[in-house]
Structure 1
Amino acid sequence: MGPTAAGKTDFLFSIYKYLSIDVISVDSALIYKNMDIGTAKPTHHQLEIIPHKLINIKDPSENYSIFEFKKDVMIEINSIIKSGRIPFLVGGTMLYYHILIYGLHFLPSKSESFRKKIYNFIKKNNRSNIIHSFLKKVDPISADNIHVNDHIRLVRCLEIYFLTGNPASILKKKKCIFPYRIIQFGLVTMNRELSYRNITNRFEQMLKLGFEEEVFKLFQRKDLGIHLPSIRSVGYFQMWKYLNGEINYFEMKNQAIYATCHLFKKQMTWLRNWKNINFLSSENKNLSVKTILTILHKLNKNLN
């Protein structure tokens, strides 16, 4: 695990040669096809050397729920273990990790027909406050914790209510027993100012690599919009607003870098509160590799 711009991909190449691992991506943005530069997706060459599961599995027009992730990642984990190798999960979407280990709410699957009606209503009327007001009547607890413009969560809570007849806020958690031993590592940069510089430099590099052109191709598609999870990804959201004439180029850059720094802080908060995690320094790659190998060696010795 690790926050954005911590160097997870580079570190993976350092540890890969020592372990019999197959890699599973745990990243809510890398799932989308044709979104490579802005997600800092491993290059085609890198993916040829170290294939990643759960990358490029969805079109940007599609949603990908936490339920789908839970199902897909367990299929991949089971398959890798049956092959005699070790599943090695890499990414920064902390909610995915949490759901994998601790389970999901017992909630219904999504209804595309219902979602389409609600999204069309929001788009046609350019208002989500009516939806939020209705949710407040049927599920005030959820409504109080969801911003009026957070369409994804608003629609999901309404969907749960109409499909089950119960507010999402009162449905009980489904118990989860993860069937495998987990060893957890957090790759972090101890110097926050250095992290922010890395974030700024990385976004500048994305722009040089053609990030604007990448988003413009998506922008030209009539089936994509700013309400979709793919386009709301950090960087894409700000670039989309620029292409739509809502902000200028300078504002786009500043807002994208600021949003990435905010994401970094949220991810670090998750990691600081995470249980049973071994922290690794991204600034000392050799020591971090040694730390992983030492921990695995001790575990293997104890098991034998």
Structure 2
Amino acid sequence: MPRASVSAEQTAVPKRVSRDGLRRFVETFAEENPPLSLAAADLTINDPARVRHRYGGVFNYLTRVELEVERNVFELRALMPDATETDRLFYEDVWSPQELQHGILLDAVQQGFGMTPATMDLDVSAKIRLVGALSHLPGMLAVIRLLYYLTGAATERSAVIAYSRLAEGLRTMGELAIAETVISPIKRQEPGHFAFYRLSAQVLVGEEGLNAWQLHLARILRRRSFHLVGVNNRRQLADFGDVAHDLDIDRDLLEVTQQVSLVERELLWAQHQGMKVPSYILTALEEAIALSAARTAGPKI
């Protein structure tokens, strides 16, 4: 079976970098990890009905999230009209093309077992545009950048967990072709994205420096604005709960939350001794799982 040529795991990830080092990391990561090729994937599915029954909802959700990268780029342009050159290089020329190909690959798989692609939302909300307008106020752009990095880090950690468990489940089912030539190559690119967000946040807080009021505001906004990846309404929150159940995330929520919240625990909540996880992340996961269970037991949401 054909395999992806180069994995993100081959890109050396430093523990800390300077602004110049961050730029070099992005350039190296882009060079070593071109967007995945659909032609290189083996889309053989031994038992389409079984894969659809077991993981159809997971593929549908992940496909939608990956293909909504187009809206994500529009949102970032609106949120950070004065984004740094490195940020713009990453989300326009590296992250976006890679994520789009992830979505194309996942969509090809789900079409192979008869799933209809989920409807994508490509509209940028008025709230996003308002926040972008506020970025021109003194000190606000740095706060928005930090929230962008924290959101990205949490999203990519969630992706690594999801793709790892999906690949493992497909291997257990004997679906080695899609596990090894679709899911695993996607999974190998996600840690590089996480590294960018983590290193960027460290540079912003450590090298560029944030005032106490900026960090305090970031804590307030992060707590109030956090939402799970791909969730913009109650139905999608229940859908996320379905995915969590199908990937057994509901069995070890605390451990998953610790992984998802790694960067914000380091940079926002380090002074809160004894805090294992931010409550807003754990609460969001618990709500998604509860909503999924309620939908399964009763009328559709």
The TM-score, its normalising length taken from structure 2, stands at: 0.26
Higher-Rg member (1/2): 1
Question: More strand per residue: 1 or 2?
Answer: 1
The TM-score, its normalising length taken from structure 1, stands at: 0.26
